[in-house]
């Protein structure tokens, strides 16, 4: 497809389990972002990838969270030892480059529920 693709769309996991969330950005987009949106809240920045540069991880809330981007394309966000407070929608977005004027295109999100 032409848009940002995320999977799974919904994930229910038990507390303490690890989860992986996948993002396939728009082809040719070098910038990729992960955000988290908790119920009724705004968007919380998690991590930013730009080309081959080292990612900006300044938004990751704890060392249980990590992300990688392979081949400058697909990205995986991993949450280890999930906690109930990790329940949220995880949104991936991409843009043509990291320039501030570029439009950021969002996927439909991965809804994570930790029980």
How far apart are the C-alpha atoms of 79 and 18, rounded to whole Å? 6
Q: Are the C-beta atoms of 64 and 80 separated by less than 8 Å?
A: yes
Asked if residue 20 binds other proteins (CB under 8 A), the reply is: no
Asked if residue 109 binds other proteins (CB under 8 A), the reply is: yes
Binding other proteins (rule: CB under 8 A), the pick from 103, 112, 114, 115 is: 103
Tell me the CB-side half-sphere exposure of residue 33, using CA atoms within 13 A: 19
Asked if residue 34 binds other proteins (CB under 8 A), the reply is: no
Single out the segment in contact with other proteins by CB under 8 A; choices: 20-28, 39-47, 71-79, 80-88.
39-47
Q: What is the contact mask toward other proteins in residues 54 to 73, using x (rule: CB under 8 A)? A: --x--x--------------
The DSSP code for 56 is B
Dihedral sign for Cα atoms in the order 72, 105, 20, 54: positive
Q: Are the C-beta atoms of 9 and 70 separated by less than 8 Å?
A: no
- Interface contacts to other proteins, rule CB under 8 A: 4, 31, 33, 35, 41-43, 45, 48, 50, 56, 59, 91, 93, 98-101, 103-109
């Amino acid at each position: 497809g032409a848009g940002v693709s995320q999977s799974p769309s919904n994930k229910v996991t038990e507390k303490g389990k690890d989860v992986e969330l996948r993002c396939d950005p728009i082809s040719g987009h070098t910038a990729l972002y992960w955000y988290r949106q908790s119920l009724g809240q705004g968007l919380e920045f998690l991590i930013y990838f730009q080309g081959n540069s080292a990612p900006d991880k300044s938004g990751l809330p704890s060392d249980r969270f990590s992300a990688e981007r392979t081949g400058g394309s697909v990205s995986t966000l991993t949450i280890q030892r999930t906690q109930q407070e990790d329940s949220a929608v995880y949104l991936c977005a991409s843009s043509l480059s990291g320039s501030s004027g570029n439009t950021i295109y969002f996927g439909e999100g991965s809804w994570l529920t930790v029980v």
